[in-house]
């Protein structure tokens, strides 16, 4: 019987999405319980307390959320911060102009006085992470509806958050894990005075651009530098010339000893989101709706924008960040669909579901607890199909895809105040709208948006069922004979939102009547109303899905009782560990684990903007002027790969060796494992990182900013 139980447990672990030893985005407080012995056997020389401690300084004190969607790390005792070039791209673009084109030429502050304040940019440090599941769920009753359950949890979570942030400057939040089966309290410290220190030109920081994105071999110097500032008490404060560089609790020492195959490597950061518990029906939805439609729509929009960017430096600077953000997940969607099909992920998920069902059906208690899980998920996916499809198109083509609609929709609150004649709050609302519009117009080109709008409105009409058409489409048919080009030209010719001069004049004496007659406002109101109807329908269906997902994950947790498990990523701090490793992407093809500067020169193409190489870099290469950053055989290392388990949000994360030293900066995944958010492919999945030696070489030899290297703790 004992042997039979072992065999059954082995089958369960085989099909469990959380039971593979080579994967995992692990919670730091659980490292001692689940991971530390394995990590040490692989080459880690630190303890779990060295990595995460709430009683003393530890490695987690050097890792931050950078902005709203990336990771960064503190690399000096003066608050110097390293992240990716693509993470700092918005700030670099924000400070760029045709006179100071930091996107094209790069930027380097040669003293702290030259560091550029970046309003709106913040970095966030994790103070503590605590399991509060028992407290949060104390009011939950078995017979509650999903809505009642959610409300009860939110009420208690709010009490816990308020108590944790009482009498201090911290921000506290309760987050759910394991599909809503566990809850943790996270306490954060947020710094809002962050200044740009250095960035290579895009020809280094984005070398290869869209062609090389998500690909290996790679030759991209994807990094940028910022600095965190604090007040005289070393606490967070809004920008002030009196603020001084932040004195961190911990900063990462920087190793230039290099990396070798099979070296231990761990990554700490903020992975944004994974769906490793996804069922086969959800995979099908991701393939046919999310990925297929997103890549199709964005491909059309990006082609229009890129044409204007290549024709004008002014437009290029305005749209660089927006284009980059769009194209990143355009290509991701294409690659993920290819991987899902090639690796037969739906078949794997079906097998997991079959094993789950067998396990559930062996016990009446399990059947009662988890028996409806998969049925609820399947039913919800079927019920929401048309709404998900329409919502994808509404978001990608009209709400986000057409910029003038996005701006016009920001006046909804102002319109309500004007209708209700609420003069008391009017001035404040006008000022908020002005501030928002200033940022919008800085990076807006109406002629480009006009071209995009014509394509996007027509696309929505052609691809989405009429039952989901906003009422503005009836107006287009009735008044413009269905001619979308005529309608868009009329909207852009007559709307106050096309340029700041018209909008500012309107805001001097705004009226509801003028908004009611504005074609862009009319269109945006119609679109938002339709979106609201779709979202309401999805909300009800998704409540059913949420229950099914919670029960499914809860059942998997019981199946794996006592085994090491990690929850899906949710943009909270995680650790992944593995090795520097090569791979074989397909039959007879081998990819080495590192690239060098020689590969940049092999790819150089002066006629292709994606592969232009700066003259200074070519000169350094020709002279082999690599300083202390070269390998023993005289090469300059550039990128390397490891089998660490990362996803979006990990961009900018530190790659750390067994001694706790920084060896690289993670920035991408590989094309052959684009299904990695859904299922980890241990033989194929690789994390692509910039070798820290190349980063230091660019700072020191290329930029001549050795003073930045000098403030780091360099380990030779």
Active site residues: 86, 222, 651
Contact between 183 and 154 (Cβ < 8 Å): no
* Other beta carbons less than 10 A from residue 305's beta carbon: 23
In the numeric block, the tokens 């790969």 are attached to 641
Contact between 666 and 646 (Cβ < 8 Å): yes
Quick check: helix, strand or coil at residue 563? Answer: coil
Distance between CA atoms of residues 34 and 28, nearest Å: 10
| Helix residue spans in 384-518 (DSSP H) | 385-393, 403-409, 412-419, 426-442, 446-463, 472-480, 484-494, 500-508, 512-516
Rg (CA), the chain: 26
Q: Exposure of 299 by Cβ count < 10 A (0-12 exposed, 13-18 middle, 19+ buried)?
A: middle
Distance between CA atoms of residues 345 and 351, nearest Å: 10
| Helix residue spans in 343-425 (DSSP H) | 345-361, 364-370, 373-383, 385-393, 403-409, 412-419
Give the start-end residues of each E strand in 258-391.
264-269
Contact between 86 and 103 (Cβ < 8 Å): no
Kindly give the pairing relationship between strand 662-669 and strand 687-691.
Answer: antiparallel
The token duo for 280 is 């086969």
Kindly give the pairing relationship between strand 63-66 and strand 123-131.
Answer: antiparallel
Query: What per-residue string of b and e applies to 143-168 under the rule 16 or more CB within 10 Å gives b?
Result: eeebeebbebbeebbeebbeebeeee
Distance between CA atoms of residues 296 and 456, nearest Å: 11
Distance between CA atoms of residues 31 and 637, nearest Å: 32
Distance between CA atoms of residues 410 and 405, nearest Å: 9
Quick one: how far is CA 161 from the chain centroid?
25
Of residues 407, 485, 480, the one with CA closest to residue 452: 485
Give 253's Cβ-side CA count (13 Å radius): 13
Of residues 178, 550, 556, the one with CA closest to residue 360: 556
In the numeric block, the tokens 């498990």 are attached to 565
Kindly give the pairing relationship between strand 171-177 and strand 116-117.
Answer: unpaired
């Amino acid at each position: 019987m004992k042997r039979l139980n072992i065999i059954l447990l082995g089958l369960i672990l085989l099909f469990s999405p959380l039971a593979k030893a080579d994967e995992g985005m692990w919670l730091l407080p659980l490292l001692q319980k689940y991971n530390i012995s394995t990590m040490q056997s692989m080459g880690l020389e630190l303890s779990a307390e060295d990595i995460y401690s709430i009683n003393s300084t530890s490695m987690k004190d050097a890792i931050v959320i950078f902005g709203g969607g990336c990771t960064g790390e503190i690399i000096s005792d003066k608050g110097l911060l390293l992240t990716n070039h693509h993470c700092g791209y918005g700030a670099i673009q924000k400070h760029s102009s045709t006179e100071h084109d930091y996107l094209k030429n790069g930027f380097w502050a040669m003293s702290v006085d030259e560091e550029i304040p970046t309003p709106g940019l913040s970095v966030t440090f994790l103070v503590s992470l605590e399991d509060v599941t028992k407290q949060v769920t104390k009011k939950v009753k078995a017979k509650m509806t999903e809505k009642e359950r959610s409300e009860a949890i939110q009420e208690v979570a709010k009490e816990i958050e308020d108590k944790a942030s009482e009498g201090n400057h911290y921000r506290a939040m309760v987050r759910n894990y394991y599909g809503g089966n566990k809850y943790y309290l996270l306490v954060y410290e947020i710094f809002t005075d962050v200044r740009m220190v250095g960035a290579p030109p895009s020809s280094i920081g984005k070398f290869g651009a869209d062609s090389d994105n998500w690909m290996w071999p790679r030759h991209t110097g994807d990094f940028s530098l910022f600095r965190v500032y604090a007040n005289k008490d070393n606490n967070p404060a809004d920008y002030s010339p009196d603020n001084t560089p932040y004195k961190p609790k911990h900063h990462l020492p920087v190793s230039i000893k290099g990396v070798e195959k099979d070296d231990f490597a761990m990554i700490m950061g903020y992975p944004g989101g994974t769906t490793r518990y996804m069922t086969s029906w959800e995979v099908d939805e991701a393939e046919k709706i999310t990925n297929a439609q997103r890549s199709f729509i964005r491909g059309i929009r990006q082609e229009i924008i890129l044409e204007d960017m290549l024709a004008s430096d002014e437009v290029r600077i305005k749209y660089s960040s927006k284009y980059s953000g769009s194209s990143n997940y355009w290509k991701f969607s294409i690659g993920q669909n290819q991987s899902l099909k090639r690796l037969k992920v739906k078949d794997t998920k079906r097998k997991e579901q079959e094993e789950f069902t067998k396990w559930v059906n062996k016990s009446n208690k399990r059947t009662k607890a988890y028996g409806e899980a998969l049925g609820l998920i399947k039913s919800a996916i079927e019920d929401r199909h048309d709404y998900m499809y329409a919502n994808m198109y509404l978001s990608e083509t009209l709400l986000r895809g057409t910029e003038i609609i996005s701006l016009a929709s920001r006046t909804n609150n102002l319109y309500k105040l004007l209708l209700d004649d609420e003069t008391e709050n009017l001035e404040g609302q006008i000022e908020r709208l002005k501030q928002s519009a200033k940022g919008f117009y800085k990076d807006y080109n109406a002629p480009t948006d006009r071209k995009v709008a014509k394509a996007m409105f027509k696309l929505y009409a052609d691809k989405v069922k009429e039952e989901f058409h906003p009422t503005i489409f009836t107006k287009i048919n009735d008044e413009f004979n269905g001619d979308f080009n005529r309608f868009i030209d009329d909207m852009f010719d007559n709307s106050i939102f096309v340029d700041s001069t018209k909008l500012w004049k309107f805001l001097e004496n705004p009226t509801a009547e003028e908004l009611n007659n504005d074609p862009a406002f009319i269109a945006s109101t119609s679109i938002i109303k339709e979106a609201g109807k779709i979202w309401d329908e999805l909300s009800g269906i998704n409540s059913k899905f949420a229950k099914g997902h919670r029960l499914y994950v809860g059942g998997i947790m019981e199946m794996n009782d006592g085994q090491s498990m990690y929850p899906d990523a949710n943009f909270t701090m995680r650790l992944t560990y593995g090795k520097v490793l090569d791979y074989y992407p397909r039959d007879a093809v081998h990819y080495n684990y590192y690239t060098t500067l020689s590969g940049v020169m092999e790819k150089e193409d002066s006629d292709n903007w994606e592969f232009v190489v700066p003259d200074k870099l070519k000169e350094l290469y020709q002279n082999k002027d690599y300083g202390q950053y070269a390998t023993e055989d005289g090469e300059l290392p550039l990128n390397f790969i490891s089998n660490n388990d990362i996803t979006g949000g990990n961009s900018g994360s530190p790659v750390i060796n067994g001694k706790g030293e920084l060896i690289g900066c993670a920035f991408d995944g590989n094309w052959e494992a684009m299904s990695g958010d859904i299922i980890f492919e241990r033989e194929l999945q690789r994390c692509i990182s910039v070798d820290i030696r190349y980063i230091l070489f660019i700072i020191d030899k290329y930029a001549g900013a050795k003073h930045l290297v000098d403030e780091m703790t360099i380990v030779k």
